[in-house]
Amino acid sequence: GDSVTQMEGPVTLSEEAFLTINCTYTATGYPSLFWYVQYPGEGLQLLLKATKADDKGSNKGFEATYRKETTSFHLEKGSVQVSDSAVYFCALIRRGAQKLVFGQGTRLTINP
């Protein structure tokens, strides 16, 4: 079945550091890929998405590129801020399907 694997957390960085959170997936066909962010005590917010191979999703300085050859969708940000501290979820949905498949989440803490 479809699955998403994220790098284990928690991840702790200093402000202005470079961030990478790895995400790989297993799915049939060509799924759409998403990164969601969850701030403490809140629901999930869509951070970015990509719907086909080589697409790059970007938002708020975060980027992720849909790599079909490596079945990956790694999240990157060049200079993180304290306000980026949150849990990040990678997810996929197969074309025509209804259900999102989530990774386990990666907790990110940014220290000033």
Q: CB within 8 A of 45, min separation 6: which ones?
A: 36, 37, 38, 39
Q: Which of 22, 24, 51, 59 binds other proteins (CB under 8 A)?
A: 51
Rounded Cα distance, 106 and 89, in Å: 7
Sites for other proteins among residues 76-95 (CB under 8 A): 89, 93-95
- 3-state secondary structure at position 110: strand
Nearer of residues 44 and 80 to other proteins, judged by Cβ:
44
- Give CA 82 to chain center in angstroms: 18
- Contacts with other proteins, 54-73, as mask; x by CB under 8 A: --------------------
Which residues contact other proteins (rule: CB under 8 A)?
Answer: 31-32, 36, 41-46, 49, 51-52, 89, 93-100, 102-105, 107
